[in-house]
Each structure stands twice: as C-alpha cells, then as structure tokens.
Structure 1
Amino acid sequence: MAREQIQVPFGYEPPEEKRKGTVLVFETFEDWTEADVRSLVDWAENKSFKRLIFYPQHEETLRRMDIRAEMPYHARVKQLQAYLEEVDTALRVEVDQWEGKRKKYTPLDTSLTFLTDKSPEPHFMCMSDRYANLFVTYPSFKEWIRKARLVILRQFHVPLNPQLQAYEGRWEVIELGNMQ
C-alpha cells in the first residue's frame, strides 16, 4: 500500500496535546451507581486527563485482600459497562477485563505494571479509602507512589492509614458525590 504524502508549511509544529495522563480506577464497583461513575468521569474530564480505565478486580483477588463481593466479576463488569454507555464524554473511557481473563488472584503490582505499560503517562491510581489503606501496607507501595499519584475516593469513610502522611504530597482525597 502506498503511503500518502502530507505537505505542511515550513516551520510547522503540531499543536501541543492539552489532555495528558491516565487514571486507573481499582475497585469492586459493586456499590457504585450511575451517578458515581458519571461523577468520576466528570472529575477526570475537568482535570483534562486523556484516559480513564476502570479495573474491576476478580473475586479471587478480592478474597485475598479480605474484601467481600456479593456479585460475581462478570456481573459487576456488565453493570459498569451499562453505566458507562449512559455517560457522554470526550474522554477515552474503558473497562479493562484482563483480570477476568486470568480468572485467578492477580497481585496489585502485576495489575499496575500491566496497566501503566499500555497507557500514557502521568499515571494516577484511583481507589477507595479501604483499598488505599490496604495498598499502603504492601512492600511495593513506596515504589508505586513515586511512579504514580494516588487519588483516594472517600467512599467508605474509614480513617486513612497514618503511613500515608509520609507521602502527603503524592495523594489527594476526593468525594464521589461532589468531585471538583
């Protein structure tokens, strides 16, 4: 197939990309509503992100993290996708189902590596306060907090782990209902 030649004026530089970065959302998405999804998409759009990746976790992963999920993985994915169909946005929004294909426990490090390798930087890890408290106890937390910023959703209103205070410049807390 022949390549098409494009002519541009001398000194032309392509316009600078205004949207940057990726938000990786780790959650069960079991208790989420369409309003919660819409609120998070609006927040990401206001912050001018390029991509928003929802990453529901498999039951086996949740069990190892001591998090209960009443709904099976595929039901949660189907519900999340239905919510996303109702949201109109210019943002590239997707549901990553890699963990569902694996059908087994996937360490958070493995999931983060997989997602960050295929998405544009800078990376923001978005998780509920309950997830963040677990994540801060993992040995790899110190490495990941340097690579990506943490966005904590005040969803379960549990007190945050005091170890987070050492990295207070690398994370922020937002409420699902009123994200600005």
Structure 2
Amino acid sequence: MSDIRIQVAVVYHSGYGHTAKQAEAVAAGAGAVAGVDVLLVHVDGAKAPWEELERADAIIFGAPTYMGGPSAQFKAFLDATSQKVFAAGFKWKDKVAAGFSNSASRSGDKLATLVQIALFAAQQGMHWVSLGLPPANNSSTGSEQDLNRLGIWLGAGAQSNADQGSDVAPPEADLATARHLGQRVAEVTLQLAKGKAA
C-alpha cells in the first residue's frame, strides 16, 4: 500500500496577500508528506476548478476574516457549491476537510470564520480535521514563537498587522502552525486512504 497517492487541495481567498502566504504554508506542509500531491487554488467568487476539486481526497479551506466572517469573495465560492457540489450529488461527501483564517487582530473573530467553514464542511458530508495542537503562549514560559501562539483549536489562525504587507506578515510562528495543519490533514487523509484500500 506504499504506492497510494492522495491529493490535498488548498482553496482560499486572499485580499491583501497575507492569507495567500498562509495558504502557501498549508500547502507546503501537506506537500512535505510522502505520497501527497497538492493543488493550490485561489478563488475570488463563484468560479472554481470544480472537476479538479471533485478528484481531491481532502480540501483545506482558507479565508481572511473581515468584519467577523469570511470575505465576501470566499463566501460566494461557498454559496456556489450549493449547486455545483451539494445539489449535483453530494460530491464532496467523505472527503477530509480543515480550515484556516487570518486577520489583523489577535482574535479578529477568526473563530467565527472557522466555525462557518466547519459547518459548511459538515453540510457537504465531509470529515473535519482540527489543528491538533494545544494552545500556546498562554503562560509565563510561552512565547510569540510558539506553534498555535493564538490558541485556536478548530483550525490554523494567523495574525497580520494591518500596517504590514505580506512580505513580513503573518509571522513565522503562524506560518509554521499553517504547515502543521497541512501536514496533519495529509497524514490523516493518507491513513483513511490506506484503510480503505486494505
């Protein structure tokens, strides 16, 4: 079963480049796992490579958090799946799913975005994978360099200062957390694929 290959798609919207940088880190983490091919897809509304996404074994969704929820462009993509995926035969059922988000504030209500994405994945019949890291930077021995420094359980969070470009933000700790999420999703998806093959 060592010749099993899977595909992990990372589907995201980015308004200013920060979430794109986070998405690239998620993709790098998934791609570092042997037997995994990665498809990186930027969406800016209702158009998407639907057939390619249907072939993916896992889809990791990412969006910036604007005003307490995912960007309108990403929400338009989610809404388009009601006809392209859900009503067309529940096409993403049993795929693996996960999520990530970026905002300028430490909290920025990223959890609201991740909850919306997780609920969306549940509506599509997908299997949600959490971040799988304890919260960090929550004691006197913690630091800004810790994985999951923002203490988010549901997915990977990143914080990018509003006055900094994507050349310097989000910080490395958040990108490392994103790579962790990509790797975790890839490993879980491979486990499921090998179990199914057995």
Superposition TM-score, scaled by structure 2 size: 0.36
The structure whose Rg is larger is 1
Superposition TM-score, scaled by structure 1 size: 0.38
